[in-house]
């Protein structure tokens, strides 16, 4: 892993842990009650994305081999969203069969609650967050591991870390399956933008549903 990638991973970790940093709550106090957390987190996510993209600028002229044609990538982008929902439903059913009816996803509930109080947070959930996660977990982590080991092991390690990063132990299987599929999609297309689209579309659809109608148990596991 290059120094640039290590720097990006550290910056992402700081973003992830930012609510624990002294001064975070102080910043939220400058905004209307109930909206501060979502606004500050969105700003931090946005700033993090800008820094990460700047760090990746040296790669903008690099042409990685093995990229799928634009038409194939478009099919993956659209079909991948459908596949993500299908895989999550299947993984949720397996989770229920093995462990019994799991509680609602605490991660998704927290996201929806924050979005209700601060609609700006939807930008972080549906656009910025997925872009950062695809860069960190698929492009950097999986991509670096893939150079040293086989696909299954590299994708598994990346997906395990991705799953635990959501701090939702009851639903690790669902997050792992999602992460593994996204690694596979990246392997097939070679275009991280395809992953970003699939991930963002999935989150946007789930949050939109959750904000407007009571969702079945499996739909409440899908914000990543």
φ, ψ of residue 110 in degrees (nearest 5): -65, -45
Check 59, 101, 107, 133 and give the catalytic one.
Answer: 133
Domain contains 209: yes
Domain contains 83: yes
- Give the model's confidence band at 221: pLDDT under 50 very low, under 70 low, under 90 confident, else very high: very low
Mean pLDDT over residues 77-84, rounded?
95
What's the farthest any 2 CA atoms get from each other in the chain?
A: 50
Domain contains 210: yes
Domain contains 193: yes
Domain contains 202: yes
pLDDT at 214 over 80: no
From first CA to last CA, the distance across the chain in angstroms is 25
Catalytic-residue membership of 166:
yes
Between these two residues, 79 and 169, which has the higher pLDDT value? 79
> Model-level pTM greater than 0.75?
yes
d(CA 151, CA 21): 36
Closest to 199 in 3D by CA, of 123, 114, 109, 133: 133
Residues 6+ apart with CB under 8 A from 196: 130, 131, 134
Between these two residues, 86 and 61, which has the higher pLDDT value? 86
Domain contains 20: no
Q: What domain range includes position 112? A: 67-221
Mean pLDDT over residues 177-187, rounded?
96
Check 107, 166, 199, 224 and give the catalytic one.
Answer: 166
The predicted structure's pLDDT at residue 171? 84
- Give the model's confidence band at 63: pLDDT under 50 very low, under 70 low, under 90 confident, else very high: low
pLDDT at 60 over 90: no
Mean pLDDT over residues 169-179, rounded?
89
Name the domain count of the chain: 1
The predicted structure's pLDDT at residue 206? 83
Mean pLDDT over residues 187-214, rounded?
87
Mean pLDDT over residues 183-209, rounded?
92
Domain contains 57: no
Domain contains 82: yes
Catalytic-residue membership of 133:
yes
User: For the chain, what is the mean pLDDT?
Assistant: 87
């Amino acid at each position: 892993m290059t120094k640039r990638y290590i720097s990006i991973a550290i910056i992402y970790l700081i973003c992830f842990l930012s609510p624990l940093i002294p001064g975070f709550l102080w910043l939220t106090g400058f905004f209307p009650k109930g909206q501060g957390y979502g606004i500050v987190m969105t700003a931090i996510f946005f700033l993090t994305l800008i820094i990460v993209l700047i760090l990746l600028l040296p790669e903008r002229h690099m042409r990685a081999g093995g990229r799928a044609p634009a038409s194939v990538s478009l099919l993956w982008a659209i079909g991948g969203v459908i596949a993500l929902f299908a895989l999550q439903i299947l993984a949720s059913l397996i989770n229920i069969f093995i462990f019994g009816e799991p509680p609602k996803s605490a991660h998704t509930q927290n996201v929806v609650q924050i979005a209700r109080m601060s609609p700006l947070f939807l930008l972080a959930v549906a656009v910025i967050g997925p872009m950062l996660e695809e860069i960190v977990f698929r492009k950097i982590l999986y991509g670096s591991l893939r150079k040293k080991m086989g696909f299954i092991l590299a994708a598994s390690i990346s997906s395990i870390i991705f799953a635990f990063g959501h701090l939702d132990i009851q639903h690790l299987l669902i997050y792992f399956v999602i992460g593994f599929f996204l690694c596979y999609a990246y392997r097939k297309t070679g275009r991280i933008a395809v992953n970003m689209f699939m991930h963002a579309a999935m989150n946007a659809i789930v949050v939109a549903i959750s904000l407007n109608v009571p969702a079945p148990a499996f739909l409440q596991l899908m914000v990543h």
